[in-house]
Structure 1
Amino acid sequence: MRVAHLGELTGELTVFGGPYSNIQALDALLAAARGHLICTGDLVAYCGAPKEVIARTQQANVYVVAGNCEKQLAARALDCGCGFEEGTTCDLLSAAWYDFANRSVDEHARDWMGGLPDIVTFEHSARRFAVIHGGVTDVARFIWSSSERQVFDEELTALRTLYGDVDVVISGHSGIAFERQISDVRWVNAGVIGMPPHDETPETEFLCIGADGGFRLEKLVYDVDGAVGDMVKAGLTQGYHTALQTGIWPSEDVLPADLRR
């Protein structure tokens, strides 16, 4: 496990997950962002501009945690590494977008992804923060607001073994933002900006941390039609392109029952 410690940060922070190859969403995020920028990973996924998203992220000096997509592309692997059950909608649909991304990303980008940390840590407002992708035990672990307490306890135990005590964990991967208190640790999922959170609206979301340490989730409005156009041009019309407009995932079967429509 590679841990990158940023030291003590002050002022506002902007934390966001999953641009998912959606350059329009990333550009809107960068225009709205304040202070240091941290991404929970999965720069590349469903949408049509993987090369552009990687380049823009590098230019913007974003601190990036390695997601499963970064790890798989760096390893020249043939799938996204999410561990979807065979035959599920996510499993079937991931083949097309990952193949497109795998053909689009150059060797320089893969090498850069291979050097990204698994965990980013820092201090802010007298608290210790750790930023991860899915889980510490498994980068692609899906953790939801309704996940069993045991899941969070397992991850916090693994994190403490690597880094020591923390006050706040910020994660991504699952695609839907939430906050949950686990004993004395605040677990915050920052959501993703590249795909709506299955809430029937096209807006996505990201996390703002104020200079005083307060958390605030903000909605992101961006050029959805432009993102859809990129997907159509790339031949990525298996259902995620319409999800950008409707706010409904074609892969609802990945969700726990309480988060389905």
Structure 2
Amino acid sequence: MDKKIENLGVLKGKVLLFGGVYSNLQAIEAIAEIAKIENIAPENCIATGDIIGYCAQPEETIQFFKHWKAKSIAGNVELQLSENAEDCGCDFTQGSRCDRFSQLWYPYAKSKLTDASLEFIKKLPEFIHFTFANKRITVVHGSFFNTSEFIFKSTPWEKKQANFNVTQSDIIVAGHCGLPFHQEQNNLLWLNPGVIGMPANDGNTAVWYVILEEKNNLVTFEHKSLTYNHSLTNALMLQNGLPKEYAKTILTGIWDNTEILPETETKMQGKPILF
């Protein structure tokens, strides 16, 4: 798929940011309800990619997203599906547990998607730019340089700084790593709203998103947790033969493993996330 950047121009009002829907229909229904309650227009609801993933309803999730008319960039999963690739492109270590599990959920997702959904996926941009409260904001999946790059709070700032330099942005909104965090340096903000399709390894079934607001010509943001019908998500995963380890995570809030995590984030497993 050719690289594509969508410029949304100047956004006004609240902006809802979230990532990693992961084929979790119950979670996206819940976040859309939050948007309705907060009076946030669909065009101000922006996802960091990986609409498709570990859970049991990829086709239903894409159709819901399509009809909601929210915005999203393509995550690595969407890029791989667009190219009819045989793996998810998640950059897991070959032979790792995550890699082996992906050999179950990715073919399942691929088999469930209609041609119409694949066409929708192929049209997703790789990056989104917009201006908010006079700040230039760029939405990436992993990083601007590598869709599958895992960037965490503990990742050296130099790696993050390079993304600001190349995009000339004041704020980078990123996804992929599965953990919500923010980090400010040099008057720049790296903001990961987290994902809604899987818990954040904190021992809580709730998931994470962010709301941006403009107050006194300044950008403010708040990390918020989201509850949804996770029991149904778990049941559907088990019914459809998806990895039981990921289905268990939906109920426990604890990841099956910490293979992708740096030491700092690994030590946070099972601990409440506080902002």
Say if 2:13 and 2:214, in contact at 8 Å, map to a contact too.
yes
Matched, 1:228 2:230: no
1:55 paired to 2:63: yes
Partner in structure 2 of residue 186 of structure 1: 189
Give the stretch that moved more between structures: 146-155 or 38-47: 146-155
Identify the residue that residue 195 of structure 1 maps to in structure 2: 198
Deviation at residue 108 of structure 1 after TM alignment: 1.8
Match of 2:45 in 1: 37
8 Å CA contact retained: 1:172, 1:190: yes
Q: Which one-letter code corresponds to 1:6 in the other structure?
A: L
- Deviations along 1:201-246, one digit per CA (max 9) or x if unpaired, are 1000001112423100110000011101110121113300000110
Mapped to 1, the partners of 2:48 and 2:72 lie a distance apart of 6
Tell me what 1:21 maps to. 23
Alignment check: 8 A CA contact 2:164 2:171 kept: no
* Cα deviations by residue, 1:14-60 (Å, 9 ceiling, x for unpaired): 01101101101110110012422101100010100101110000011
Is 1:137 matched with 2:142? Answer: no
Please give the TM-score of this superposition, normalised by the length of structure 1.
Answer: 0.95
Which residue is 2:125 aligned to?
117
Deviation at 1:155, TM superposition (A): 2.5
Where in structure 2 are the equivalents of 1:54-203 lying within 5 Å?
Answer: 54-157=62-165, 159-160=166-167, 165-203=168-206
% same residue: 31
Aligned partners of 1:131, 1:172: CA distance in 2, in Å?
9
1:149 CA drift (Å): 2.0
CA deviations 1:62-107 (Å, max 9, x no partner) are 1111100111111111100012111212111111110100111122
* Native 8 Å contact 2:174 2:193 kept in 1: yes
Judge which range, 32-41 or 191-200, deviates more: 32-41
Deviation for aligned residue 1:109 = 1.4
Distance in 2 between residues matched to 1:55 and 1:251, nearest whole Å? 31
Post-superposition Cα deviations, 1:109-137, rounded to whole Å, max 9, x if no partner, equal 11221111111111111111111111111
Runs of 4+ aligned residues of structure 1 deviating over 6 Å after TM superposition are none
Structure 1 residue identity aligned to 2:143: G
Computed over aligned residues only, the root mean square deviation of the Cα atoms, in angstroms, reads 1.1
Q: Aligned partners of 2:245, 2:53: CA distance in 1, in Å? A: 13
For 1:238, the equivalent position in structure 2 comes to 244
Aligned residue for 1:254, secondary structure, equals: coil
1:254 aligns with 260
CA contact (8 A) 2:237 2:243 kept: yes
